[in-house]
Structure 1
Amino acid sequence: MDVEASRVIAVAPERVAAYAMDWRNDARWTQGIRNAELTTEAPGGGFGVGAEVTRTAYFLGRRIDYVLRVVTHEPPSMLEMTSVAGPFPMHVTYTFAAHPQGTLATIRVRGDASGFYRVAGPVMAPLVRRNLRKDLRDLAGQIG
């Protein structure tokens, strides 16, 4: 699965990225996430490359607990995370680019489903895309 969604948000990239890259806001704008916790700080402390965020989410009616490790942290343009624990491998990339109307925000999710989620494979990509679009809509609403 490789799914991407974008939206123009009428706010400067620095503001959009600051909100979206703060794990404490995950449950406010990311579909299905009920809880997010910084469980491992970056080597220099706080949030950055090497930090790990544990998320509890619900997808297709099932609870998913997973851990994402930050592999790229370049505010205000990019945050890239990869799963180190969870039901399937996942790679999430957030990008924020200047746009004449504010910020072009993009979320890309790549992953290989296993178990129950492999069986649900044919519906996974459309559902993930729909959720990403809702995420971006909610992100715009939170900071707009």
Structure 2
Amino acid sequence: MDVDVSNEIVIDRPVEAVARYAMEPDNAPAWYKNIESIVWRTPRPLAVGTQLDFVAWFLGRRLAYTYEIIELVENERMVMRTAQGPFPMETTYAFKPVSPDKTRMRLRNRGRPQGFAGVLAPVMAGAINAANRKDLEAIKTIMESGA
């Protein structure tokens, strides 16, 4: 069973500010509750092909994985993918201006759990959905407080 979870929120900040903050990997631990750390595996700046090592906690387990940026469109979209582990994942950030001072941010995670993880796909989808909603609320709070 595939997992495909998409959530969105409107943030009272211009699209350029929201996209710049969200697409900066070093900011992820501030707004992603489950992300513990990020290490750049390839040199800066962020570009297609950049690789980032993430350490996160999910469903009570510590996970270490490498994301590779596969698409990057300034102020519009970033897509990153990991292929290793029991749950290959693709994460998409998408940004659309609602007005000059408001941005709709969409966070999408999709993948196909392998092996035993496939049995847990419905549980994983629910946990990802809940986490994404909290993460989007966190970035909204950070952005609207002046980040």
The TM-score with structure 1 as length reference comes to: 0.92
User: What residue is the counterpart of 2:130 in the other structure?
Assistant: 130
Say which SS state the counterpart of residue 63 (structure 1) adopts. strand
**In structure 2, what residue type is equivalent to 1:69?**
E
Cα deviation, 1:29-50, whole Å, max 9, x if unaligned, reads 1131000111113xxx521100
- C-alpha separation between the residues in 1 aligned to 2:57 and 2:114? 16
The answer as to whether partners of 1:64 and 1:86 remain within 8 angstroms in 2 is no
- C-alpha separation between the residues in 1 aligned to 2:46 and 2:86? 24
User: What residue is the counterpart of 1:106 in the other structure?
Assistant: 106
User: What residue is the counterpart of 1:96 in the other structure?
Assistant: 95
User: What residue is the counterpart of 1:86 in the other structure?
Assistant: 85
Paired-residue identity, %? 33
The answer as to whether partners of 1:69 and 1:84 remain within 8 angstroms in 2 is no
Question: Structure 1 residue runs of 4+, over 4 Å off?
Answer: none
Say which SS state the counterpart of residue 57 (structure 2) adopts. strand
Alpha-carbon RMSD? 1.4
User: Greater shift after overlay, 2-11 or 80-89?
Assistant: 80-89
The answer for unaligned runs of 5 or more in structure 2 is none
User: What residue is the counterpart of 2:37 in the other structure?
Assistant: 35
The answer for unaligned runs of 5 or more in structure 1 is none
- C-alpha separation between the residues in 1 aligned to 2:39 and 2:84? 14
User: What residue is the counterpart of 1:68 in the other structure?
Assistant: 67
- C-alpha separation between the residues in 2 aligned to 1:10 and 1:50? 31
Count of paired positions: 141
- C-alpha separation between the residues in 2 aligned to 1:134 and 1:78? 20
- C-alpha separation between the residues in 2 aligned to 1:26 and 1:93? 14
- C-alpha separation between the residues in 2 aligned to 1:116 and 1:62? 15
**In structure 1, what residue type is equivalent to 2:77?**
M
- C-alpha separation between the residues in 1 aligned to 2:4 and 2:123? 13
* Cα displacement (A) at 1:67: 0.5
- C-alpha separation between the residues in 1 aligned to 2:57 and 2:115? 16
- C-alpha separation between the residues in 1 aligned to 2:41 and 2:86? 18
Q: How does 1:14-53 map to 2 (within 5 A)?
A: 14-41=16-43, 45-53=44-52
User: Greater shift after overlay, 98-107 or 81-90?
Assistant: 81-90
**In structure 1, what residue type is equivalent to 2:24?**
D
